[in-house]
Amino acid sequence: MFEALTESFTSAIRKIRFHDDEKALTKALGELKKALLKADVHHKVVKDLIDSVEIKTKMAAIGKDQFLDALRSSLYELLNVKGNAGFVYAPVSPTVILMTGLQGSGKTTTTGKLANFLKVRQKKRVLVVAADLQRLAAVEQLRQVCASIEVELYADETSKNPVDVVKGAIEYAKKVLVDVVLIDTAGRLAIDDELMDELAEVRTAAKPHEIFYVADSMSGQDAVRTAESFNEKIGIDGVILTKYDGDSKGGVALGIASQIQVPLRFIGAGEKMGDIEIFLPDRIVNRLMGLGDIEGLAERTSSIVDEKKAKELNRKIKKGEFNFNDFLEQMESLKKMGSMKSIMGMIPGMSGMASALKDFDMENSGELKKIKALVSSMTMKEREDPELLNNARKARIAKGCGLTVVDVNRILKQFKNASKMAKRFSGKKGMQDLQNMMGQMQGGARPR
């Protein structure tokens, strides 16, 4: 995420030296301007940003540090508009959030992602409400989403009236002491009066603390325009941009808050439940300037990995008891974390590597399929104790999973290395080792 934008900023930063003249500044600003316009940031937003950086740099005397400070504070001002940031809880539970947006923008998926984020990361009890009674199968879709993240769903398929459903849901939420209620609503093809009226009625019934507008970032400046008219008609408190993974330009995220004066709160970048990130201006500024976001990375990991499980795993690794079941589980959770590319950009100094990894697809990787086949051909005992694997067993397994013995040996060796490496990283020097390894990787072969 943000690779294109980060590249624009870091390349402008590289153009400025410690002590410099006006010509160098003009050149850096000119390049930045071109890059931002290319990234589809609205021209007025670009102009304001560039002007602000120029004035601030000149006021402090032209030089690299001054330029960095100016850029940092101008970016922060651009992103930090009046309103809440991240997820904000109401003083009295339950916090009620109404999810709105055009048809297909990603409301239902985002409702699930947000529920998962609040449940796993913030340990909240979440109730998701199915108030889309327009589209056939909408309730069923939401039910599947909720089942996959193990979050409770409130639905009433006999009802045709979302207002009744919402009233029932709020009453229930209060009774069973839910922390957060997320209401998924019907999509609108365009802003038409009938559906707007329905939304207004739902709003009256739900009395939400906040209304989130879910916008498809791939629709570019259209996303900004529709968010603006939703804000005029219904009033919105936050924007969530979705499908950011498919938006190679990404500039909408930079401009939307200042353009409509409503803060951007979350960004969705992928179809999986873990593919959501909280949008906090100061963190994003660091990231855009190529400084990474370790906090965000930790959050991302912990929204996937169960803390208790992580501790247990750590214990096993240290004792050398890491087995094939753990291995498979780790692979699965890496998959849930989303693409490697989006993760790399969060590690300081690694943003440049993100583009090299863009084609590395965990889910469809042939290697991962082989590993899965291999593990599923093992007996339970073998999975728990890799030491059992003698030649006869290896031959049986190879047959069972349709691989050659050479393949089986190679994967087993990989597993041994992974388990050794894990043991190393679990120690005190772990992070240092990991960084060294990353450094080597950067100069080494690219993963396929």
Q: Residue 361 is encoded by which pair of tokens?
A: 């697809």
Which of these, 371, 373, 368, lies nearest to 400 by C-alpha position?
373
259, 276 Cβ separation under 8 angstroms: no
- The site partner of 357 among ligand GTP, Mg ion, none (C-beta below 5 to 8 Å per kind) is none
Which of the ranges 99-107, 228-236, 386-394, 411-419 carries the binding residues for ligand GTP, by CB under 6 A?
A: 99-107
Which amino acid, one-letter code, is at 277? Answer: E
Minimum separation from the CB atom of position 207 to Mg ion (A): 22
Of 107 and 209, CB closest to ligand GTP: 107
- Counting contacts by CB under 6 A, is residue 219 touching ligand GTP? no
- The site partner of 74 among ligand GTP, Mg ion, none (C-beta below 5 to 8 Å per kind) is none
User: Mask of contacts with ligand GTP, 122-151, x by CB under 6 A?
Assistant: ----------x--x--x-------------
Minimum separation from the CB atom of position 126 to ligand GTP (A): 17
Pairing of strands 126-131, 152-154: parallel
Q: Which residues contact 171 (CB under 8 A, 6 or more apart)?
A: none
Which of the ranges 192-200, 269-277, 278-286, 359-367 carries the binding residues for ligand GTP, by CB under 6 A?
A: 269-277
Q: Residue 201 is encoded by which pair of tokens?
A: 């009625």
Minimum separation from the CB atom of position 183 to ligand GTP (A): 12
163, 205 Cβ separation under 8 angstroms: yes
- Which position has the token pair 């709020």? 170
Length of the chain: 448
Of 275 and 293, CB closest to ligand GTP: 275
Minimum separation from the CB atom of position 124 to Mg ion (A): 22
Residues 237-256 that bind ligand GTP (CB under 6 A): 242-243, 245-246
Radius of gyration (Cα) for the chain, nearest Å? 25
Backbone angles phi, psi at 100, to 5 degrees: -125, 165
- The site partner of 124 among ligand GTP, Mg ion, none (C-beta below 5 to 8 Å per kind) is none
- Counting contacts by CB under 6 A, is residue 45 touching ligand GTP? no
Ramachandran sector of residue 154 (left: φ over 0; alpha: ψ -120 to 50; beta: rest): beta
Cα separation, 13 vs 290, whole angstroms: 10
- Counting contacts by CB under 5 A, is residue 108 touching Mg ion? yes
Which of these, 308, 325, 326, lies nearest to 317 by C-alpha position?
326
Cα separation, 154 vs 144, whole angstroms: 13
- Counting contacts by CB under 6 A, is residue 306 touching ligand GTP? no
- The site partner of 255 among Mg ion, ligand GTP, none (C-beta below 5 to 8 Å per kind) is none
Cα separation, 8 vs 13, whole angstroms: 9
Minimum separation from the CB atom of position 345 to ligand GTP (A): 16
Of 103 and 377, CB closest to ligand GTP: 103
Of 179 and 275, CB closest to ligand GTP: 275
- Counting contacts by CB under 6 A, is residue 303 touching ligand GTP? no
Q: Which residues contact 73 (CB under 8 A, 6 or more apart)?
A: 56
Q: Which residues contact 319 (CB under 8 A, 6 or more apart)?
A: none
186, 194 Cβ separation under 8 angstroms: no
Which of these, 155, 160, 162, lies nearest to 128 by C-alpha position?
155
Which of the ranges 55-63, 107-115, 233-241, 395-403 carries the binding residues for Mg ion, by CB under 5 A?
A: 107-115
- Counting contacts by CB under 6 A, is residue 208 touching ligand GTP? no
Among 250, 255, 263, 268, binds ligand GTP (CB under 6 A): 268
Minimum separation from the CB atom of position 106 to Mg ion (A): 8
Cα separation, 189 vs 52, whole angstroms: 38
- The site partner of 269 among Mg ion, ligand GTP, none (C-beta below 5 to 8 Å per kind) is ligand GTP
- Counting contacts by CB under 6 A, is residue 187 touching ligand GTP? yes
- Residues near Mg ion (CB under 5 A) are 107-108
- Residues near ligand GTP (CB under 6 A) are 101, 103-109, 132, 135, 138, 187, 242-243, 245-246, 268-271, 275
